[in-house]
Amino acid sequence: MRKKIKSALISVFYKDGIDTIAHQLHRLGITIYSTGGTEKFIKDIGVPCVPVESLTSFPSILGGRVKTLHPNVFGGILARRTEDQDVQQMKEYNIPEIDLVIVDLYPFEETLANTTDEKLIIEKIDVGGPSMIRAAAKNFSDVLVIAAKEEYRLLEDLLVAQEGETTLEQRKDFAAKAFEIVMHYDIAISNYFNASKPLRSIDYKFEQSLRYGENPHQQAVFYGDLKKIFTQLHGKEISYNNLVDIDAAINLIKEFSETTFAIIKHTNVCGIASRHTIKEAWTAALQGDPESAFGGVLICNGNIDKATAEAINEIFFEVLIAQHFDADAMQILRSKKNRILLLCRPYNMKSNQQVKSVANGILTQQNDEGNYIEWKETGGRETTALEKEDLTFANLVCKHLKSNAIALVKNKQLIGKGCGQTSRIDALRQSIEKAKQFNFDLNGAALASDAFFPFNDCVQIAHEEGIQSFIQPGGSIRDKDSIEYCVANNLAMVFTGMRHFRH
């Protein structure tokens, strides 16, 4: 099923790379049809080009909105060369066959990222381009479609290697890519008009095969452009598990404006602290659980200097993410060839939605944004200024632990945590045990719970260990039991009205 390309239609927004292709098409004696700026560009590089207007007998009208939407164009793309009726009608209406369609769509997403001007955004919704791509992809039996500039090099190689011939398998592969590209483009437009109900598409332009998935026997692929988020300065290839923890680390650190260092293990926070300097924040974060920090993902919201690098260099870790690395710090950290060092870029996530595959479908939900809806003092006394700082900090940390979760904080340092437990009281016991394991004094510590206390036993146990202030969403039918205990024992307790389950 090899077919010789005899004619091509080129209509692209960005002209980069088209010059080489146009010269190759001309070398092979292929007739080139084109439109507007693309036609001018091709002629300017010395390659003959037939204006589409000669096929349609219509100029480009309505400010360029209508150029190719015509039976003489779409007939040439969609005609089935093996159907007698199609061939007869093409002769009857003098419609030329079009064997190759090259389209680079208007940059809708790029425009959306750079302006809020609705008029400019709307004008970058391509109509003719997707229509030609779909038509050519539908008729892959006879037509080759190139739907994005990222495919130009593949086309160029094919033209050189096969002298303008294509196989059915090749045409079908390009058609499949074309439908993916149009799908992604249409979803981006749909999301602009339906911001409250955005859809998700996989960006196949950025496909990265991973060594394996969560476990070695599982295959895995990442779809997305990591370069928008960070630059890898050093280390081995990023793994599936690395990416999951990196995502958790980035989502955690963006919650904090003060100088903060955090350590992530299996998406849970095992150490975090805010201090005046990055070095101090690192030291305090590591103290929270130096055992679990082994092999973790480290992240901070500041600059890694030499002193901090020397301290970090003493432990084994998988990934370190920072906003900047001093040159002498890099020299130290590069001493281990496999360490992944990532320079984090300022980046606003496009979507406020989370997606998870379940059963035979998918679940979507809004991201868990914010810390608390209200600050309702319900205990035996008002929180002090220091307690309020620690409770606010603890509640953010607890939000990023797997449920059921408890976070114990003192002086903006995580000193104990319980996570992923099947009962809240077990999470509390785990957090207390962790704090004691590393010799922390729980007197005056603050406690955060990701969900309400179903009974007052958690408050009692925590109080017996010296904890004096609590923050929780409230909402239990037995809230009064915990409130009464706090009132009777002069303990501070805050209801936030905002649960932070994380599964």
Q: Where in the sequence numbering do the catalytic residues fall?
A: 138, 266
Rounded distance between C-alpha atoms, residue 154 and residue 98, angstroms:
20
AA letter at 260: T
Give the Cα separation of 106 and 453 in Å (integer): 54
Give the separation between CA 18 and CA 23, rounded to whole angstroms.
9
What is residue 499's three-state secondary structure? Answer: coil
Q: Give residue 492's identity as a one-letter amino acid code.
A: A
**Of the candidates 101, 102, 50, 94, which has an alpha carbon nearest to the alpha carbon of residue 72?**
94
Residue identified by tokens 């149009």 is 182
Q: Give the other-Cβ count within 10 Å of 50's Cβ.
A: 16
The residue behind tokens 């940390």 is 397
DSSP state of 383: P
Q: Are 329 and 308 in contact (CB under 8 A)?
A: yes
Round to whole Å and give the CA distance between 134 and 74. Answer: 10
| Residue 199, burial from CB neighbour count under 10 angstroms (0-12, 13-18, 19+) | middle
Q: What is the DSSP string of 110-133?
A: HHHHH---HHHHHHT--SHHHHHH
Task: Please give the C-alpha separations between residue 175 and each of 8, 75, 136, 454, in angstroms, as whole numbers.
Answer: 16, 18, 8, 57
- The encoded tokens of residue 271 equal 């150490």
